[in-house]
Amino acid sequence: MRPQHAKRPFSIRRLLAGGWLLLLAGAAVLAPSETIIPDLAHVSQPPFGVGHWLGTDPQGLDIWQALLQGTRTLALVSVPATLLTLLIGAGLGSAAGFLRNSGWQPTWRSLLTGLLVGLAALAQGPRLTPASGGLLVVTVGSWLLLGRFGFSRRRVALPVDTLVLGLMSLLESVPLLILVLAAAAVQRPSLGGLVLLLSLSCWTTPARLMRAVTLQVSAQPYLEAARAAGIPAARLLAAHIWPNTRHILLVRFPLTVALLIGLETTLSFLGVGLPPEVSSWGQLLATIRLAPTAWWLVAWPGLALVSTILSLHTLGRTK
């Protein structure tokens, strides 16, 4: 029941999609880097006029230039944020689903050492000083000291699943927009901060999906057999689990890019988006509320956005 186009990987649609993405990459490289100078004499000008062939926004910014610069923002902000999101999500999600609550059993020795070091770091307070060298002493000291006790060689099951789920519910209990709004009420996030904030709060959905699929795959009889045969966990993951769970991430990639661009637009709508010098498609889209009749504010960035998401989607399908 495989879809037809799998037999011809270089269909016209895939060519088009690849071409569009290449075009975007080119635009991202070639886009002018200096901040756009607002043309206050031509504010909200419709497209195909003199000087601004795609029109201007209500602030007098040229839409063509803003689109070009938005491409670079896309390449430098949205795509890295998506990759980071998926990476964290896939890692933690499959760890939770595969290890569950008994899959990882470190010795008391390593566990307690880790805990002690953590406590020492906490007691030292939130700063990095020459005294941080003391941490190393604590590490080595407690490792050696604990080695003298018999119990420290026994193993303890670490509830990875519970921990990851707990972390997810803590993060998700604060709706993302609220988190960003609250953060902006304290200090407006910088560009890197925004990327980190977005990835750190968006990874939970892919993680949850990965966990579910991993749970399902590891319950299959052949995996039980492989486990019983003593195949190491790393190989199990690499050879049997990931090939069966990867599709979730591929489906998720264009969705996450779209989600992040959408979020960024919504943030611009709520007044806490990227810095004003950084043009983005989201920012362009958000200006529509200043001039509801200016269709060109939505048309061009919208067209670019839809083409990009569809291209990513087309190329992302491997089946």
Partner 1 sequence: MPVLLRHTAQALVAVWLTLSALFLLSRSVTDPAAFIQSTLSANTRLDARIDQAALTQQLLRRYGLSAPLFYTSWQPAAGWRWHGTGNQYHQWLGQLLAGNLGISYRQGAPVRGLLGEALRYTLPLTLLATTGSVGLAIGMATSLGYRPRARRLVLLALHGIQSFPLFLVAVGLLLLLANPDTLAWFPAFGLGLEPESGNWGQRAGELLYHLALPVLSLVIVSLPGLVIQLDGAIQQEMTRAYVATARAKGASRRRTMRGHVLRNALLPTIALLTDLLPNLVAGSVVVEVLFALPGMGRLLAEAAATQDYPLLLGAVGLVAVVRLVAQWLTDVAYQLTDPRIRL
Partner 2 sequence: MKQLFRGFVVSLSALILTFCSTSPDATTSLVVRIRWASDPDNLDPLVVSNSSASEVANLTYCSLLKASEADNDFVPWLAEAMPIVQWADDSLLLVSYRLRPEATWDNGSPVLARDVAFTLKVMNCPGLPTEMDQAMFGFIRDIRLDPTDARRFTLVCVGQSPDHVRSSGDFSILPEYVLDPEGQLRSIALPALRQTSRPVPAVVVAFARRYQALELNKHPERLPGCGPYRISDWQKGRYLTLARKTRWWADTLSSPPPVLQAFPDQLTYQIIPDAATATLALRRGEIDLYSLMPAAEFVRLQQSAADQQRLRFSATDSYEFLAASFDVRKSILRDALTRRALSQLFDVAALVQATQQGAAVPSVGLISPRVKAYYHDSLPLLRFDPTTAVSLLQQAGWQRRGAGPWTRPNAQGQPEQLRLDLSYRTGEPAYETAARQFSAAARAVGVAVNLRPTEQSVLSRQLRAGATDMSIRTFSGNPFSYDFTPLLHSRGIGASNNTGFSLPASDELIDRIATTDDPARKARLLRQFQLLLHQERPFTVLYFLRYRLAAAARLRVPVTGLKPGYEAARIRVEVPQL
Binding residues for partner 2, per CB under 8 A? 35, 37-38, 40-41, 43-44, 58-61, 184-188, 270-272, 275-277, 289-293
286 binds, among partner 1, partner 2, none (CB under 5 to 8 A by kind): partner 1
> Please, what is the minimum distance in Å from the beta carbon of residue 271 to partner 2?
3
Binding mask 190-219 for partner 1 (x = CB under 8 A): ---------------x--xx-xxx-xx--x
Q: Please, what's the largest Cα pairwise distance for the chain?
A: 84
Q: Does position 186 bind partner 1 by CB under 8 A?
A: yes
> Please, what is the minimum distance in Å from the beta carbon of residue 239 to partner 1?
19
> Please, what is the minimum distance in Å from the beta carbon of residue 288 to partner 1?
6
Q: Does position 128 bind partner 1 by CB under 8 A?
A: no
Which of 282, 283, 294, 300 touches partner 1 (CB under 8 A)? 282
CB-count exposure of residue 312 (10 Å: 0-12, 13-18, 19+): buried
- Contact 108/154 with Cβ under 8 angstroms? yes
Q: State which residue, 162 or 190, has the beta carbon closest to partner 1.
A: 162
Residue where the block lists tokens 């060298």: 133
Binding residues for partner 1 restricted to 253-272, rule: CB under 8 A: 254-255, 258, 261-263, 265-266, 269-270
212 binds, among partner 2, partner 1, none (CB under 5 to 8 A by kind): partner 1
Which part of the chain contacts partner 1 (CB under 8 A), choosing from 56-64, 77-85, 130-138, 249-257?
A: 249-257
Binding residues for partner 1 restricted to 63-102, rule: CB under 8 A: 100
Q: State which residue, 56 or 268, has the beta carbon closest to partner 1.
A: 268
44 binds, among partner 2, partner 1, none (CB under 5 to 8 A by kind): partner 2
- CA pair distance 110, 117, nearest whole angstrom: 11
- CA pair distance 99, 264, nearest whole angstrom: 35
Residue where the block lists tokens 């895939």: 14
Residue where the block lists tokens 């061009």: 300
- CA pair distance 55, 47, nearest whole angstrom: 4
> Please, what is the minimum distance in Å from the beta carbon of residue 272 to partner 2?
6
Q: Does position 178 bind partner 1 by CB under 8 A?
A: yes
277 binds, among partner 2, partner 1, none (CB under 5 to 8 A by kind): partner 2
Which part of the chain contacts partner 1 (CB under 8 A), choosing from 43-51, 67-75, 139-147, 248-256?
A: 248-256
Which of 51, 141, 147, 175 touches partner 1 (CB under 8 A)? 175
